[in-house]
Amino acid sequence: MEPLARALRQAGFSTMSIPYPSARLPVTILVKRIRQEVEKISGEAPVHFITHSLGGILLRVMLADEVPWQTGRIVMLAPPNAGSEIIDWAAQHDLLRRVIGPAGAALGSGGLPCQLSSLPSDVEAAVIMGNRSSLPIFRKLLSQENDGIVSAEKGRIEGLRGCSIIEADHTFIQMHPETIRLSLHFLKTGEWQS
pLDDT recorded at residue 16:
94
Domain coverage including residue 134: 2-189
Q: What is the CATH number of the domain that holds 38?
A: 3.40.50.1820
Range from 45-54, 92-101, 146-155 that averages highest in pLDDT = 45-54
Residue 172 domain-assigned (yes or no): yes
- Output 188 or 150, whichever has higher pLDDT: 188
User: How many domains, in total, are found in the chain?
Assistant: 1
Q: Is 194 part of any domain?
A: no
Q: Which residue has the higher pLDDT, 154 or 86?
A: 154
Q: What is the pLDDT of residue 142?
A: 75
Q: With respect to residue 53, please indicate whether it lies within any of the assigned structural domains.
A: yes
Long-range contacts (CB closer than 8 Å, 24 or more residues apart) made by 185-189? 186/73, 186/75, 186/124, 186/126, 186/161, 186/162, 187/8, 187/13, 187/48, 187/50, 187/72, 187/73, 187/75, 188/11
pLDDT, average across residues 107-134: 90
Would the pLDDT of 153 be above 70?
yes
